[in-house]
Structure 1
Amino acid sequence: MSFFKKLFGGKEEKLTQPQTNIHAEFWQWFQQNQKDFHRIINGMNRETIEREFFDKLSPELEKVHKGIFFLTGMFDTETAELILTPDGIVPNIVFVEELVAVAPEIEGWRFTALKPETDINNVSICMHDQEFSKESLSFYLKDHADMPDEFDLVVAHDQYNEEQKSEFLQAVYIFLDNYLGEYDSITKLDSVSIIAPQDAEKELIPIERLKNIVILKNSEISRLDKVIHANSDDDEYVGLEGETDEGLPLVATLNRTLLDWDQKASHPWMMIIEISYDGQNTNGMPSSDDYALLDTIEQDMLDELKDVDGYLNIGRETGDGIRTMFFVCKDFRKPSKVADQIVNKYKHHFEIEVSIFKDKYWRSLSKFG
């Protein structure tokens, strides 16, 4: 329970769970076409694969959930592999995992959730006229005295130039997805930057040692797994008032106890929900009806995401046509699903944007002091 639950009161009602056979429908469709798809992939004709497989698969995956992408090829001489990927988007990981988890056994097929890790000797990415491999890449970890558990990876490329920073960084992310595996690349690294070797602030380490260091670092921070903040009832809350650059009012209610907490890294996932409403005739604030519905949405979130389970409601900010809610979480899977249900339940009332990302020290909340 939290301050917001006490404020809203009323009977708890669970979000309606979507009753759908969408996963089963997808795999039934796939089974009906799998022989043709296997033949097409085995033929390895790019134009044919795009026309006869990619163009048919994409709209079917869209029916399951927006933002599921795929890779394909022959795993061995007899087996075609379909790799489903969220393409780096954290909230979509769980929907990829769930779809693959119920995949049927089909002879000649292998289904994989997220890009798997690859032996470093077999990882070589050629992009932007450059090679990204163990021969061209090295790294070190940047130290942060005030953020000891931060995994801040600095990668050096021996041909790096600042003019192509975004291109080099894009290629490094693809390399890391393939080397570490997409899941570890997304969830274990807090930040990644790219430099030239001569700009390194510490001794550079061969990139093939990164995987072991990721394992070691993850083991060190596992001590945080058992840290919980189980009862927000006793926390101190604070109300803040301000205004936008245009002079419109902003009001916020925040959990001051949590903002001052010294165990932030135990809840490393930030979820920000932005709900747009019509505030044109109300000085940027919600109408009374919108206020009530916005509070109902927040209560729905609180009923599903409880502090004892590792989901902490930091507070909310309202003004300039947007209600923003802030949650910090131990994991991202349940928040992703709850947020998706919220978006679908209230899509005819509000436009809702959801962001879930790694923010181990809650720097996204720094504006609240």
Structure 2
Amino acid sequence: MLRSRLVQHTTITRLPWRRMYATASSSPNTPIFQVFNRDAKRRQKDRAAMDVESSRTVDYLKDEVAARVADRLADIKRDFHTVVDLGSGCGHIVKHLSKDNMKKLIMCDMSEQALKRDMDQHYPVQVERKVVDEEYLPFKEDSLEAVVSSMSMHWVNDLPGALIQVRKALQPDGVFVGAILGGDTLFELRTSLQLAETERESGVSPHVSPMTDSSDIARLLSRAGFVLTTVDVDEIQVNYPSMFELMDDLKAMGENNAVLTRRPMLHRDTLMAAAAIYKELHGNPDGTIPATFEIIYMIGWKPSASTPQPKKRGSATTSMKDVLEN
């Protein structure tokens, strides 16, 4: 049975949950900080995609974010022959592309089941599917015109290394357009579970994955070698009947917890307490509960000979003082 959901934009200010990263000098193939269990995440995505009807029901969030990523790509006044979609899932971005400026999309995902789910669908551009782990890209250096990624790279352990691999695979003046979940995502769920677990079990464990914030992304893009970078943040709030429908939808999306140190399960009385706390602290007047998804959008370009460069220090012929006085 379909549940009613309201998608709207809100602004919420709170301290983000900060995430640690490997240094930019580390090898892209050897993540220093193993935060996520990648095998568990692949299995979660496989199971979600195999339940075709349920997973299609919860495509609403990924489809919405993918549409915004596709809009940003369309704003680039350039014709692309082939674009790579990293972490494509079942094909959220391809639904929103136009054959007017693109011929082919290579959908790449670690989940073979996700890639197979919608093979019977018809899209406006030619599609090729590849099983690819975002942490280990198979593409040759200087071989890609553009790379897009939506709602996937927040599960990568070595995000700096992954971005370096993307930049290396791009042709000079190639572009990367991406979107990941930010640190304020699901803060309502996180705080409710922490309070309930502290009260009932005298301790807490991570039940919502740690994520990054926009200032981290801007630095990571620069450290990975991208130029002319752009980062902006949006928030999508979805209303659910209760915390349990939210958790069911996250599981059906393949977005359930994959932190290595996660506890296998919570006791039923802890979950019931968390649901009550969620409604008390964050509930809407109509009895529903909001879930906030912070989306960080990013654009970065691979340098080329034609990339605009800043002038050398001291090369100006007019002083700022004279400009301001006039």
- TM-score, normalising length: structure 1: 0.23
Higher helix share: 1
Higher relative contact order (CA 8 A, sep 6+): 2
